[in-house]
């Protein structure tokens, strides 16, 4: 069994020795030749969570577990999670690709908030998550970005009751839009959000506020 100080793949999420939780991996296989210091790359096994007293609060039954910005919620994977070295679809450099698992969200009581059925999940705001179907996961260690990001696939937004807030039919979303607490920005036809191309704006109630608008978000909606 391996106990790991928290490392998160989500920018801004709590991590390190100060966090009250620790990741635990049973049947652990460690890749001593890994090119990056990322726990999803370096360790393979069944993942769970310990509290500060060493009590197992999340059973070691997941193929990966990660914290998000909400400290009592975790991103989890189930399935044959495989990490390979491949050529990046973006710059052509060699990078890690993750495949074979489905992702969802649980809370500290191991209750499922977002069913573990998506190819990727990212937290947008408290109890609201961007979900992707059909993507490829690539590793990226650029500053202020998630270490793993979704290439291609279709994006939508769901809440912690698995209500669909935004239909899962968009090609990109504005990944800094969590600064706008009441708005979700999504776009079709572009692999990366482009403010100079038409996009849609929803609120967290699932209402389509604007359709096919163009222009810099900060100019239209003001500074967050």
User: Which has the minimum average pLDDT: 37-41, 189-193, 194-198?
Assistant: 37-41
Looking at residue 15, its pLDDT comes to 61
Spans of all domains in the chain: 2-170, 176-224
Strand (E) or helix (H) holding 219: helix 217-221
- The burial of 189, by beta-carbon neighbours within 10 Å (0-12 exposed, 13-18 middle, 19 or more buried), is given as exposed
With cut-offs at 50, 70 and 90, classify the pLDDT of residue 24.
confident
Looking at residue 18, its pLDDT comes to 46
- What predicted TM-score, i.e. pTM, was given to this entire model? 0.88
Tell me the CB-side half-sphere exposure of residue 212, using CA atoms within 13 A: 0
Cα–Cα dist 86/157, whole Å: 29
Polymer length in residues for the chain = 224
Question: Which residues pair with residue 187 across a beta bridge?
Answer: 172
Please state, in angstroms and as integers, the Cα–Cα distance from residue 203 to each residue in 15, 83, 154, 166, 198, following that order: 30, 36, 19, 9, 17
Question: Are the C-beta atoms of 81 and 66 separated by less than 8 Å?
Answer: no
């Amino acid at each position: 069994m391996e106990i790991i100080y928290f490392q998160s793949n989500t920018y801004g999420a709590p991590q390190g020795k100060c966090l009250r939780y620790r990741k635990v991996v049973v049947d652990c296989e460690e890749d001593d030749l890994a090119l990056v210091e990322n726990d999803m790359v370096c360790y393979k096994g069944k993942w769970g969570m310990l509290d500060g007293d060493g009590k197992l609060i999340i059973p070691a039954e997941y193929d990966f577990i990660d914290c998000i910005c909400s400290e009592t919620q975790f991103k989890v994977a189930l399935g044959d999670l495989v990490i390979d070295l491949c050529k990046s679809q973006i710059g052509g450099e060699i990078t890690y690709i993750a495949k074979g698992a489905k992702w969802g969200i649980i809370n500290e009581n191991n209750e499922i908030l977002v069913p573990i059925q998506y190819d990727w999940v990212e937290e947008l705001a408290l109890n609201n998550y961007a979900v992707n179907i059909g993507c490829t996961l690539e590793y990226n260690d650029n500053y202020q970005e998630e270490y793993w990001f979704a290439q291609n696939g279709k994006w939508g937004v769901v809440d912690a009751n698995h209500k669909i807030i935004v239909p899962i039919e968009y090609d990109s979303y504005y990944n800094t839009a969590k600064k706008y607490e009441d708005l979700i920005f999504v776009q079709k036809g572009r692999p990366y959000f482009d403010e100079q191309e038409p996009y849609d704006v929803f609120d967290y109630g699932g209402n389509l506020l604007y359709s096919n608008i163009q222009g810099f978000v900060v100019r239209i909606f003001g500074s967050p």
